Amino acid sequence: MNGADAAHGTDMSAMIADVLPEVLLVIGAIAVLLFALFAPRRMQAGAALLALATVVLSAAATISMLGNPEYLTFAGTYARDGVALWGTLIVLSATAAAIGLSVPWFRRDPRHGEYYTLLLFSALGAVLLAGASDLKQFVLAMVLSSATGFVLVGYHRRSSPASEAAIKYYLLGAFTSASMLIGVALLFGLAGSTTLTVLDGMPVAGGISDQAALVLPLVLVVMALAFKIGAVPAHAWMPDVAQGAPAPAAAFVTTVPKIGGFIFLARLVEALPGDAVDWRLLVALLATATMTLGNLAALWQDDVRRLLGWSSVSQTGYGLLAIVALGSSDLAIPSLLFFLLAYALGNVAAFGVVVELRGRTRLDDYAGLARSRPWLAGALAIAFLSFIGVPPLAGFFAKLVLFGAAIEAGYTWLAVVGAVNTVVSIVYYVRVLAPAYFGDRVAPVPVLGRWAAVATFMMTGAVILAGVAAEPFLRAFAGVGIVLE
């Protein structure tokens, strides 16, 4: 118990107020479920409105907490710091857009009300992950996020690609969950407590340095986080899910859990004692492997959704640069948050275009898109150029601060690897854009509906806006930290 806990961790009503955004999500998810149970089939779409209102309320509650002093609540197990709150906001924005994309997609599905419950619970899992400052809390959040994710991916029960993707996602998730549980158990045994704070000041016992003994459990836990964020070696689900899952669910599952996972990873390495474990090098190697593999694999894809999945893997690799720089560069936390923001906006926008095009995914289907659907082609181009890192789009600022953080942390070579990978990535993004813009095919291209278009264009606009007007975000991100005490 410390001062912060005394102030914020004892009074029950104060503690509930600390987690108001999360509580709202739970209440909203249950309300959606009840609505879906009792509402007639033709009114199932009302569940989407209910879910959207929940997300908006939860976001409003989160925004009202921004700028408060940063502290831990619930006896040091849950962080109320700027990183967690901004992570929550990014999760909620992506969730809101995913709801918009889902409405026309599932319109003909008579039982899709409960889909939104799953979406909300999955978002809650990511939010809890972003705030978790305790290993048990971490396990809970991971399981909540994964379990709902499996169902979302397999939601089209009779579609075999969706089932295949769900099975692969589930198997990989089960393996890494097991490793996570073993790792957490070992850490608990070593430290005698599950709060992250305890890791920092770990005692040395029995003649063996406990710090060296940390390595195995940490590797096991990081394995589970690698699954969550789509990093090597547990990245394999990403392309399958991107290709096979219902497109709006793919947009959600390749974006939202990653945000929570990244923030918990940042919290975990911040809590590690001293320099006992050379985790920087380990993460740097993971980053190198992840972006290189993601980019090389994406080069050969003829399926746009699968390509987006591999592109997500490579983006994870860039994001890991922020983790490497944590604690040795002022730019580390701003770069992490800005990366997550830019990635979430760009990724949902890109999947949004696929959704609005009724899920068409063969590369050939995109030929001549700029003539038949200039606005959608433009949205796709902006999302891709942002992934490449063309200024003044959001993705460019993300890369700017990521590379800056890596150089400042003394990992210039990693920034160079990131730059080389960026050049490689141009080739596959252009493989989609070139036929879309230079192709002459003129054929009617049916689209899905207004909701998906609005969500897509709002995300696309945000990609531009977060780049041109990056200042408020960067200033906010520069003022937040990760609280461990």
Partner 1 sequence: MLTAAIFIPIVAAVVLALLPRGAPRATLDVAVQPDGGSDSTPPGGAGGSVAGAPAPPSMLRDTHPAQEAARARERRMQAAATAVAAVPLLILALAWLRFEGTGGFELVEAAEWIPTLGIGYRVGLDGLSLPLAAMTALVFVVATAYPVDLRGRPAPYFALMLFLEGASIGLFLALDLFLFFVFWDVSLVAMYFLIGAWGHGDAQRSALKFFVYTFAGSLPLLLAILGLYLTTDPRTFDMAEIIAQQPLAGSGLYASLVFAGFFVGFAIKTPLVPFHTWLPPAHVDAPAPASAVLAGVLLKMGTYGFVRILMAMMPDAFARFAFPLAILAVVAIIYGALVALAQTNLKRLIAYTSVNHMGYVILGLAAAGAGIGGHEAAQAIALTGATLEMVAHGLITGALFLISGSILARGGTYEMDEYGGLAGRARFLTAATVLAAFASLGLPGLAGFVAEFQVFAGALAVYPWLAGAGLVGIVVTAALFLRMLQKLLLGPLPTRWSRFPDLARVEIAGLAALLLMVVLIGVYPAWLLDVIDSFAGPLVGR
Residues forming contacts to partner 1 in the complex (CB under 8 A) are 104-112, 156-159, 161-162, 246-247, 305, 357-362, 365, 371-372, 374, 385, 388, 390-392, 396, 399-401, 403-404, 407-408, 412, 415-416, 419-420, 422-423, 426-427, 430, 434, 437-438, 442-446, 448-449, 470-471, 474-475, 478
Give the residue with the Cβ less far from partner 1, 134 or 365. 365
- Spatial contact of 151 and 118, defined as CB atoms under 8 Å apart: yes
Alpha-carbon distance of 245 to 105, in angstroms, equals 12
User: Least distance in Å: CB of 366 to partner 1?
Assistant: 10
In degrees and rounded to multiples of 5, residue 157 shows phi and psi of -60, -35
Helix (H) or strand (E) holding 433: helix 412-438
Q: Which tokens go with 271?
A: 């809590």
Eight-state DSSP code of residue 410: T
Distance of closest approach, residue 93 Cβ to partner 1, in angstroms: 21
Q: Least distance to partner 1 from the beta carbon of 394, Å?
A: 13
Q: Give 258 or 399: the residue with its C-beta nearer to partner 1.
A: 399
Query: 3-state DSSP call for residue 362?
Result: strand
φ, ψ for residue 208, nearest 5 deg: -95, 135
Q: Tokens at residue 145, please?
A: 């996020």
Rounded to 10°, the helix 135-153/215-229 angle is: 30
The CA-to-CA distance between both ends of the chain, in Å, stands at 9
Which whole-number Å values give the CA distances from 301 to 159, 172, 256, 361, in the listed order? 21, 22, 24, 11
Q: Shortest gap between Cβ of 161 and partner 1 (angstroms)?
A: 8
The least distance separating partner 1 from the CB of residue 104, rounded to whole angstroms, comes to 6
Q: Least distance from C-beta 52 to partner 1, angstroms? A: 17
Does 203 sit behind a cis peptide bond, omega within 30 degrees of 0 on the bond before it?
no
Nearer to partner 1 by C-beta: 1 or 443?
443
Q: Which of 115/237 has CB closer to partner 1?
A: 115
> 197 or 292: whose CB is closer to partner 1?
292
Q: Work out whether strand 71-73 and strand 78-80 pair parallel, antiparallel, or are unpaired.
A: antiparallel
Nearer to partner 1, 312 or 335 (CB): 335
192: left (phi over 0), alpha (psi -120 to 50) or beta: left
CB closer to partner 1 out of 41 and 136:
41
Instruction: Closer to partner 1 by CB, 72 or 393: give it.
Output: 393
User: Strands, DSSP E only, in 17-120?
Assistant: 71-73, 78-80
Residue closer to partner 1, measured from CB, 140 or 478: 478
* Helices and strands (H and E) in the chain: how many: 23, 2
In the bound complex, what is the minimum distance in angstroms from residue 290's beta carbon to partner 1?
19
Three-state secondary structure call for residue 298: helix
Inter-residue contact 351 to 247 (CB < 8 Å): yes
Q: Where are the beta strands (DSSP E) in 19-138?
A: 71-73, 78-80
Cα(21)–Cα(265) distance, rounded to whole angstroms? Answer: 22
How far apart, in whole angstroms, are the C-alpha atoms of residue 460 and residue 392? Answer: 13
Q: Which is nearer to partner 1, 312 or 422 (CB)?
A: 422
Least Cβ distance, residue 324 to partner 1 (angstroms): 15
For residue 226, the minimal CB distance to partner 1 (Å) is 26
Torsion angle, CA of 234/239/242/243, rounded to 10 degrees?
-140
**Closest separation between CB of residue 470 and partner 1, Å?**
6
- Smallest gap from Cβ 137 to partner 1, in A, equals 32
- Please identify, using beta-carbon distances, which residue of 230 and 368 lies nearer to partner 1: 368
Interacting residues of 100 by C-beta distance below 8 A, sequence separation 6+: 52, 451, 452, 454, 455, 458
Q: What is the rounded CA–CA span in Å between residue 277 and residue 262?
A: 19
Tokens of 87: 């992570």
CB of 452 to partner 1, least distance (A): 9
Closer residue to partner 1 in complex, CB, 273/461: 461
Determine what percent of the chain falls in helix, strand and coil, rounding each to the nearest 5.
75, 5, 20
